[in-house]
Amino acid sequence: MAILYGFHAVSARVKQAPASVEEVLVDQHRKDKRMQQFIDKVKASGIKVSTADSDRLEKAAGHKQHQGVVAFAKELAKSNDLFEIIETHGKNTLLLVLDGVTDPHNLGACLRSADAAGVHAVVLPKDKSVGITPVVSKVACGAAETVPVITVTNLARTLEEIQDAGVWCIGTAGEATDTLYDADLKGPIAWVLGAEGDGMRRLTREKCDQLVQIPMIGSVESLNVSVASSVCLFESLRQRQFSK
């Protein structure tokens, strides 16, 4: 059973797969226009809506920032076979590999960008990585429900297997000679990014086919991983769909 909360995350699931939503709880004290419009849409989809006090909402969400909306839903069936996904999308494969991202807000933002840029799967290591929590789902605004998130035991070995499947693995590193804009991103690509600060682990970095840097002319030395992933993914999208 998945617990979703916040207007964006719940609305996205109601729109995408209303049959999977078993019940939606709403704040019994909220009578504003936004809430009423939300309730009308949920009821129009045939979903049970119940009112609840703030204590029950907070307990259900496990978090205070629920905006007065919590949903109980079935897990959506998504392919968790990474190599089936690569085979299906072939030369158009676009993956995002995140090494050491432990902040749920960062992961949620990465998933939101991944969905927008057309990423086919996000790969996470089991260790030193946050999973799909209610906070991640809320920040992702529904993307946690649409983008396959695949957790692997050995990230370095998985990168080797991704390469064997014909996917070029590109990592980001501030000391790289090539820039993001030097890379050819039209073929099957896996972007590999680490959390800000330590970045990718040494073995992860060594497994990449290519390292690139995001050119910056300001005073900051690095970008938040969610911002960096957005820059990389949308440059991939630009090269694939909009470059001549």
Phi, psi of 138 (to 5 degrees): -65, -50
185 annotated ligand binder? no
> In one letter, which amino acid is 68?
G
For 49-154, where are the alpha helices, taking DSSP H only?
54-61, 82-89, 104-117, 134-140, 143-146
d(CA 228, CA 110): 9
Asked whether residue 189 is marked as a ligand-binding residue, the answer is no
Distance CA 170, CA 146 (A): 24
DSSP string computed for 169-198: EEEE-TT-SEEGGGS--SSSEEEEEEBTTT
> Is 94 marked as binding a ligand?
no
Binding-site residues sit at 194, 214, 223
Binding-site residues for S-adenosyl-L-methionine sit at 194, 214, 223
